[in-house]
């Protein structure tokens, strides 16, 4: 008897016709349909990945249909689609920025700085070999760093873009110069230098000659006649102030050697150096009016700025000449550094300052940094390349590892659908088969 067009012969079953009909019509259809559904689904799942490469009809270049598998054939497009899905919906720049902002808190930054300083920075200083290498590297860089720093600072000062030098000068003036007092020994030394360089007999003689010019002598006589009272005016006329000044000027001009001796002797007798030293030691800048101090500070700042700008080339040249000394100084300083001698309170303060600076900077610049970093990282291209470079076997294993239960459930689902279709076939057979006539 034919069974659904397959031409099965059931005579081999040694059972009566009733059981044979029951087996054919009620038992076998669900089993056959279930096996068919399972096998079809199993083949469909396998054809997602296999064959891994294209097959061709022997001795031709005609590619066999449905080879290679769906995933190997569309792997490049799959890679692009997965990368686009991840970067556009799962890992957007906004998500990365928000997550970074959640992690970038001052506490986390302090932990990072603390870990770096304790386990990396201080640990490296305990290694003698690395310490010498580090000292040599830093020393070799120090001249370039110093020269670059000096040149950049002065250039910014020239362009009016830097307030660093004025600020430092003002702080030095307020905290050092204003409160500085000179003791008598230092004042005596300063007075000696002033006497040797500014109040020498020669300079005093030339100054007096300039002071006793004919115009000044005439002005002195006129002033005495106008402002002096009667007795003093008469005394000035008796002495002859104008004549005395002219004779004194003549003496200074014609007898320089004698004038030098006279001025030197008078300087010693009058104790000019001692008086000058006492005045220097007693001088207190804070006793001056506030406006005068403010003007003096502005003049000092202006002087420093002008000096640096006008002597820029000389300063840079001096930096080059000090290259060897700078390298030796920096290298010795690094080698003498002892991590154990660093006070813990100072170390904690430095860590807090560094973490506070980093936190403030990241709060201000983090969003901009993330926006620039994500395109630079090329996350989309990186994901696409990684997936595209997977071998078909790796891709199959990856999908099976992720969706193994789901793919197995899909095969079972095909089996169940086949069984249901078999039951439906039994029902249809029962409906369409005519009832036998009873005689």
| 347 lies in some domain | no
Range of the domain at 72: 48-90+386-415
Number of C-beta neighbours around residue 104 at 10 A:
14
- Write down the pLDDT at residue 2: 43
Indicate the number of domains in the chain: 3
Same domain for 190 and 289: yes
Q: Which residues contact 327 (CB under 8 A, 6 or more apart)?
A: 139, 140, 142, 143
Same domain for 287 and 230: yes
pLDDT tens, 342-386? 677 877 888 888 888 887 777 777 777 776 776 766 777 777 887
Same domain for 67 and 5: no
Same domain for 188 and 82: no
Residue 120: which pLDDT band, with cuts at 50, 70 and 90? Answer: low
Report the percentage of the chain scoring pLDDT > 70.
Answer: 85
Q: Which residues contact 361 (CB under 8 A, 6 or more apart)?
A: none
Same domain for 287 and 206: yes
Same domain for 232 and 306: yes
pLDDT averaged over every residue in the chain: 78
What is the distance between the alpha carbons of residues 395 and 405, in angstroms, rounded to a whole number?
17
| 251 lies in some domain | yes
What is the distance between the alpha carbons of residues 242 and 238, in angstroms, rounded to a whole number?
11
| 57 lies in some domain | yes
Same domain for 298 and 179: yes
Same domain for 2 and 75: no
pLDDT tens, 55-103? 888 888 887 777 777 777 777 887 788 778 777 776 677 777 777 777 7
Length of the chain: 439
Same domain for 294 and 168: yes
The more confidently predicted of residues 270 and 322 is 270
- Write down the pLDDT at residue 436: 53
Find the helix packing angle between 28-47 and 392-432, rounded to 10°: 160
| 95 lies in some domain | no
| 256 lies in some domain | yes
Number of C-beta neighbours around residue 154 at 10 A:
20
| 270 lies in some domain | yes
Same domain for 236 and 186: yes
pTM: 0.42
69: Cα within 13 Å, side-chain hemisphere: 19
The residue from 289, 312, 335 where one domain ends is 312
Query: Encoding tokens for residue 137?
Result: 């590297």
Same domain for 82 and 169: no
Torsion angle in degrees (nearest 10) through CA of 53, 58, 63, 66 = -60
SS3 category, 49: coil
The residue from 312, 341, 370 where one domain ends is 312
Residue 10: which pLDDT band, with cuts at 50, 70 and 90? Answer: very low
Same domain for 53 and 32: no
What is the distance between the alpha carbons of residues 113 and 355, in angstroms, rounded to a whole number?
7
Neighbouring-strand partners of residue 56: 63
| 249 lies in some domain | yes
| 147 lies in some domain | no
- Write down the pLDDT at residue 82: 78
CA end-to-end span of the chain, whole Å?
Answer: 24
CA angle, corner 11, sides to 6 and 17, nearest 5? 105
């Amino acid at each position: 008897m034919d069974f659904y067009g397959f031409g099965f012969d059931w005579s081999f079953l040694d059972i009566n016709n009733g059981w044979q009909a029951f087996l054919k019509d009620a038992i076998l259809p669900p089993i056959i349909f279930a096996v068919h559904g399972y096998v079809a689904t199993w083949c469909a799942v396998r054809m997602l990945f296999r064959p891994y490469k294209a097959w061709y009809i022997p001795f031709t270049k005609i590619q066999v249909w449905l080879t290679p598998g769906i995933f190997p054939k569309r792997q490049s497009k799959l890679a692009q689609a997965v990368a686009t899905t991840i970067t556009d919906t799962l890992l957007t720049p906004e998500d990365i920025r928000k997550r970074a902002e959640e992690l970038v808190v001052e506490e986390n930054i302090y932990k990072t700085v603390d870990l770096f300083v304790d386990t990396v920075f201080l640990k490296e200083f305990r290694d003698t070999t690395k310490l010498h290498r580090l000292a040599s590297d830093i020393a070799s860089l120090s001249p370039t760093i110093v020269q670059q720093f000096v040149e950049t600072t002065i250039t910014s000062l020239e362009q009016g873009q830097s307030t660093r030098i004025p600020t430092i000068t003002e702080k030095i003036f307020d905290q050092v110069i204003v409160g500085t007092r000179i003791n008598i020994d230092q004042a005596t030394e300063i007075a000696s230098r002033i006497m040797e360089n500014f109040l020498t007999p020669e300079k005093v003689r030339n100054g007096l000659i300039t002071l006793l010019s004919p115009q000044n002598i005439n002005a002195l006589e006129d002033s005495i006649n106008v402002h002096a009272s009667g007795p003093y005016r008469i005394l000035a006329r008796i002495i002859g102030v104008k004549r005395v000044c002219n004779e004194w000027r003549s003496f200074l001009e014609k007898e320089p050697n004698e004038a030098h001796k006279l001025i030197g002797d008078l300087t010693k007798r009058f104790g000019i150096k001692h008086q000058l030293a006492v005045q220097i030691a007693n001088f207190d800048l804070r006793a001056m009016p506030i406006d005068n101090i403010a003007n003096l500070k502005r003049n000092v700042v202006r002087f420093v700025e002008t000096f640096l700008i006008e002597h820029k080339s000389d300063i840079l040249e001096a930096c080059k000449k000090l290259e060897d000394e700078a390298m030796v100084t920096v290298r010795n300083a690094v080698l003498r550094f002892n991590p154990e001698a660093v006070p813990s309170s100072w170390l904690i303060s430095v860590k807090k300052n560094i973490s506070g600076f980093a936190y403030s900077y990241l709060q201000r610049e983090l969003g901009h940094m993330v926006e620039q970093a994500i395109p630079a990282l090329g996350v989309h291209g990186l994901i696409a390349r990684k997936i595209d470079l997977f071998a078909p076997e790796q891709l199959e294993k990856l999908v099976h590892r992720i969706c193994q239960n789901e793919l197995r459930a899909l095969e079972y689902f095909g089996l169940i659908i086949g069984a249901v279709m078999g039951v439906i076939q039994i029902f249809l057979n029962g409906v369409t088969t005519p009832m036998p006539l009873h005689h």
